[in-house]
Amino acid sequence: MSEGRLPGSMSGARSAEGSPLHGLRGWRLAALVLVVVVLVVLPFLVKNYRVFQFNLVLVYAIAVLGLNILTGYNGQISLGHGAFYAIGAYVAAALMSNAGWPYWATLPVAALVCFGLGFLMGFPALRLSGHYLALATYALGLAIPQLLKYRHLDALTGGVQGIVLNKPEAPFALTVFDQPLSADRWLYFVTLAVAALMFWLAWNLLRGRIGRALVAIRDHPIAAAAMGIDLPIFKSLTFGVSAAYTGVAGALGAVVVSFVSPDSFTILLSISLLVGVVVGGLASIWGALFGAIFIQFVPNVADHLSKAAPWAIYGAFLIGFMYLMPAGVMGLARRFGMRRQPGAAALASSQEAPPGG
Amino acid sequence: MPDLLEVRGLHAAYGSSRVLHGIDFSLAAGRITAILGANGAGKTTTLRAICQTVTTQGSVLFAGAQLVGRATESVVRLGVAHVPDGRGTFAALTVDENLRLGGYVRHDRSGVAADIEQAYRRFPRLHERRRQPAGLLSGGEQQMLAISRALMLRPRLLLLDEPSFGLAPMIVTEIFRILRALNEDEGVSILLVEQNAKLALELADRAYLLETGRVALAGSSAEIRRDEAVRRAYLGY
Amino acid sequence: MNELLHQICSGLAAGCIYGSVALALVMIYQATHNLNFAQGEMATFSTFIAWALIHAGWPYWGAFAATVAVSFVGGLAIQRIVLRPVEKASVLANVIVFIGLAVIFNSLGGWIFDYEIKSFPSPFPQDAPYATRYFSAHELGTAGVMLAVLGALFAFFRYTPFGLAMRAAAQNPDSARLVGIRVGWMLAVGWGLAAAIGAVAGMMVAPSVFLDPNMMSGILLYAFAAALLGGIDNPFGAVLGGLIVGVLENLLGAYVVGTELKLTVALMFIVGTLTLKPNGLFGRAVVARV
């Protein structure tokens, strides 16, 4: 089975261990350097608000990646990941606002808390599959925002009004192309670093035995169990890791937006994340980035049409993608010759329904 | 007179695995034809191909109408009744409901009622259990129910997939007797798939032997029964 | 004691609504083995249509009948047009399409009818002679309507040939085809019926909770809980489940958790039922002799 690779690495032979940079040559190295340079300089080329939007894209990318690990690779459907995002956000906000923690310290805590909750959620989820898991997570996604408004938790959550945070300033001054290193630009680098780390971790996790095990559980659970994979532990761990990713995204999101309130985390957020996974591509790491770009920018564009329009478009996209491109953007890219990712090909063929039924 | 059923160049596949590789055979109206062969030869698939419950290529003409490409329910409405392997009874519905469903496409309510009564006369055991869920019936009773249900259609062509499977010899004899009576008295054409070649050849006029998706042998059942070499080599007796 | 009785009665009244929606969910589950996540939004959209007709001057029951008819046709059309292409696809694809439908209906409702909260009339006048101390006229009327719907469905499925064919198609589509039943259309009719039932439920609940695009999201969750509790393949269980859920929800809300955590309670019901008694209280085991 071919293993997942970053584009730009050597085609052909597998590199069993080693970093993604192993064996880079010539123009691929130059391209990579170019991309890095652009990424570093980008925030200074555009206005603050645009940088803020980029930050959100990166945050959503981490969240979508988290959901993709669970749903795309492991086949467990979650309609409630917005709940983990919310919990991560509130953990960060509560620690920063009530206990004065620095923003970067809240990320690991959010990860741990969400890992624990996700792992716990994994247990009832073991006996559920398909629709039932979707239903249970849907209920989770609906219940959490209401829970966050609960009177008796006001001290922690700030109640209906939520919590306002101070956006952290850059620790040093810097001016590039006449643009100062504003809070948003500083956060851009922070989120970029965190995102890069999370993506790298996921890439490592998923390209080896663990990734194959996840896909095996998704596609042939009985065979997987027979081969010695401990299904309950594995599936619960996957839930935990997935929740942790989305929780970290939530925490980062809280810092980037500097505000949390229950109404920011409705079921629509869960649905948006799912849209991101579908559009970007199931079982694809880079797809998470495409998905995040989609869910960040499409509503802005569609808003001009009508308040309701973004959602009508989401709905149409969800349905349309299932008909035409069940493997998402990355599936399309794959057809144009990019590297295959493990498991996605099998999923694409099992997703494709014969036209006309 | 043209044949009731004419099959030419029939290919069939399950997903990407091809099971029938272009078979030809025909069935004259009012006759009984048997399809014989070992497990995996493609006998069941042939019946399924006629009913269009499996992907097919080629030509299947039933009374001049092309069946390939039609929906199964449309094939049935032309007068083709299929008793599949596994019987295909509605386990959670009662025996009576199963029979009524057999006559679903017919418009003559009184005719349907009369046929149900006839089924009960033919198989008193079904009458006893008429209000019980079909899933509780024994193997033999389910087979009786499945055949009765197929007959409710008043079909021109009856497709039977291994009617003797898993049944006590006495019951098998009874069922085959009934099939013969149906054919002789009511002119129902029958296409029979059977592993029990001896039984099948006693009932059928004509037989085709399938081997890995191709027709290996064709002829009247009398010819085949007479030919000892063929019998020993292909039919095991 | 008085207070307790009152809570139980309100619970039963709410349970009628949950039971009706649960009935629609069970119907679609029986036929397709899918959970219809779009059920709530479809019901809300139907209620909007009724509201528009009433506001255009139609008499209540005329608008009611027209809405039910339109919803039936709409549900049928959705199955044939939107769902057919993914009938054989994976569970995930189906779930996603259902969510897509839900989102489209929700936004269409907001787009066409705007987000302002609207009031919706009840056909059962408050001072009707049959109103009692514990049940308002509307609550009794709702229960009556729901029982009538249940009765009609029961008679339809049990005693008509078409109903029998639908049951057959749901239980064993392959065998159904072999008796000439057009299984695809049976599924479509099932969807039509579910949409019609949802419309009735929406019109019955709107007078109490007021009409806006998000009217049914909480109710849908409770209906799911009710359907699961009753056994996802059992229509009677769905109705009973609805009543039980309604009463429990009310009691918990009044005496234990307060009314602010309704959705968390629903979540507990759902996760609890799925973990402890996945077949529900009345779920049918398949009868078959091996």
Is A70 in the C-facing interface, judged by CB distances under 8 Å? no
Residues contacting residue C44 through CB under 8 Å, at least 6 positions apart: C105, C106, C109, C202, C211, C213, C214, C215, C216
Q: Which positions in chain B touch C164 (Cβ < 8 Å)?
A: 93, 97, 100-101
Interchain CB distance below 8 Å, A357 and C217: no
Interchain CB distance below 8 Å, A75 and C92: yes
Kindly indicate the confidence band of residue A24, based on its pLDDT and cuts at 50, 70 and 90: low
Contacts 24+ apart (CB under 8 A), C125-132: none
Contact A288, A279 (CB under 8 A): no
**C residues 116..155 contacting B (CB < 8 A):** none
Kindly indicate the confidence band of residue A117, based on its pLDDT and cuts at 50, 70 and 90: very high
> How big is chain B, counted in residues?
237
Shortest CB distance from C172 goes to which of B90, B100, B104? Answer: B90
Report residue A96: phi and psi, to 5°: -70, -45
Residue A125 in tokens: 């989820």
- Average model confidence (pLDDT) for chain A? 80
Give the distance from residue C174's alpha carbon to the nearest chain B alpha carbon, in angstroms.
8
Q: Which positions in chain A touch C103 (Cβ < 8 Å)?
A: 271, 311-312, 314-315, 318
A357 pLDDT more than 60: no
Nearest chain C residue to A282, by CA: C92
Average pLDDT over residues C36-63: 94
Interchain CB distance below 8 Å, C103 and A312: yes
Identify residue C201 by its one-letter amino acid code: A
C188 pLDDT more than 70: yes
Interchain CB distance below 8 Å, C164 and B97: yes
Shortest CB distance from B137 goes to which of C164, C180, C289? Answer: C289
Report residue B212: phi and psi, to 5°: 40, 55
Residue C223, pLDDT score: 94
Kindly indicate the confidence band of residue A343, based on its pLDDT and cuts at 50, 70 and 90: very low
Contact C135, C6 (CB under 8 A): no
Q: Please report, for chain B, the start and end positions of each structural domain, with discontinuous segments joined by +.
A: 3-79+156-235, 94-154
Q: Name which of A353, A341, A345, A350 is nearest A3 in CA terms.
A: A341
Average pLDDT over residues A129-156: 86
Shortest CB distance from C82 goes to which of A128, A267, A319? Answer: A319
Residue A222, pLDDT score: 79
Best residue in C96, C112, C245, C270 to probe A by mutation, most A CBs within 10 Å?
A: C96
Is A25 in the C-facing interface, judged by CB distances under 8 Å? no
Q: Name which of B170, B175, B174 is nearest B160 in CA terms.
A: B175
C102 pLDDT more than 90: yes
- The alpha carbon dihedral of C195, C201, C207, C208 has a sign of negative
Vertex C45: Cα angle to C41 and C48 (nearest 5): 140
Helix, strand, coil: what percent of chain B each, to 5?
A: 40, 30, 30
Interchain CB distance below 8 Å, B89 and C175: yes
Residue A335, pLDDT score: 57
Best residue in B51, B67, B72, B75 to probe C by mutation, most C CBs within 10 Å?
A: B72
**A residues 107..146 contacting C (CB < 8 A):** 124, 127-132, 134-136, 138-140, 142-143, 146
> How big is chain A, counted in residues?
357
Residue A174, pLDDT score: 78
Report all structural domains of chain A as residue ranges with CATH numbers, in order of start.
50-294 (1.10.3470)
Higher-confidence residue: C29 or C136? C29
Residue with structure tokens 């700030």?
A158
Report the percentage of chain A scoring pLDDT > 90: 31
Residue with structure tokens 């594995």?
A234
Average pLDDT over residues A183-189: 88
A230 pLDDT more than 90: no
For chain A, list the contacting chains (3+ Cβ pairs, <8 Å).
Answer: C
Cα–Cα distance for residue pair C148/A210, rounded to 1 Å? 55
Each residue's pLDDT tens digit, A5-17: 444 444 444 444 4
Is A322 in the C-facing interface, judged by CB distances under 8 Å? yes
Residue C98, pLDDT score: 93
Residue A332, pLDDT score: 61
- The alpha carbon dihedral of A234, A133, C264, A250 has a sign of positive
Cα–Cα distance for residue pair A266/A175, rounded to 1 Å? 39
Each residue's pLDDT tens digit, A65-91: 999 999 888 888 899 999 999 999 999
Cα–Cα distance for residue pair B235/B198, rounded to 1 Å? 8
Q: Which positions in chain A touch C100 (Cβ < 8 Å)?
A: 314-319, 322
Interchain CB distance below 8 Å, C37 and A138: yes
Half-sphere exposure of A82 (CA within 13 A, CB side): 28
A280 pLDDT more than 90: no
Interchain CB distance below 8 Å, A315 and C100: yes
Average pLDDT over residues C119-133: 79
Residue A303 in tokens: 């808003």
Shortest CB distance from C289 goes to which of B84, B136, B149? Answer: B136
Three-state SS for B14? strand
Each residue's pLDDT tens digit, A234-254: 888 899 999 999 999 999 999
Helix, strand, coil: what percent of chain A each, to 5?
A: 70, 0, 25
Q: Which positions in chain A touch C91 (Cβ < 8 Å)?
A: 77, 129-131
Quote the crossing angle between the two packed helices A267-280 and A328-335, to the nearest 10°: 0
DSSP states of A131-161 as a string?
A: HHHHHHHHHHHHHHHHHHT-GGGHHHH-GGG
Of A79-83, A116-120, C275-279, least confident by mean pLDDT is C275-279
Cα–Cα distance for residue pair C22/A50, rounded to 1 Å? 46
CATH topology for B3-79+156-235 is Rossmann fold (3.40.50)
Of A101-115, A193-207, C179-193, C247-261, least confident by mean pLDDT is C247-261
Cα–Cα distance for residue pair B187/A106, rounded to 1 Å? 84
Best residue in A132, A267, A313 to probe C by mutation, most C CBs within 10 Å?
A: A132
Residue A127, pLDDT score: 67
Q: Which helix or strand (DSSP H or E) is residue C205 part of?
A: helix C183-209
CA A226 to chain centroid = 31
Beta strands B189-194 and B32-37: pairing type?
parallel
Average pLDDT over residues C233-243: 89
Each residue's pLDDT tens digit, A318-333: 888 888 866 666 666 6
Q: Which residues of chain B have pLDDT under 50?
A: none
Kindly indicate the confidence band of residue A183, based on its pLDDT and cuts at 50, 70 and 90: confident
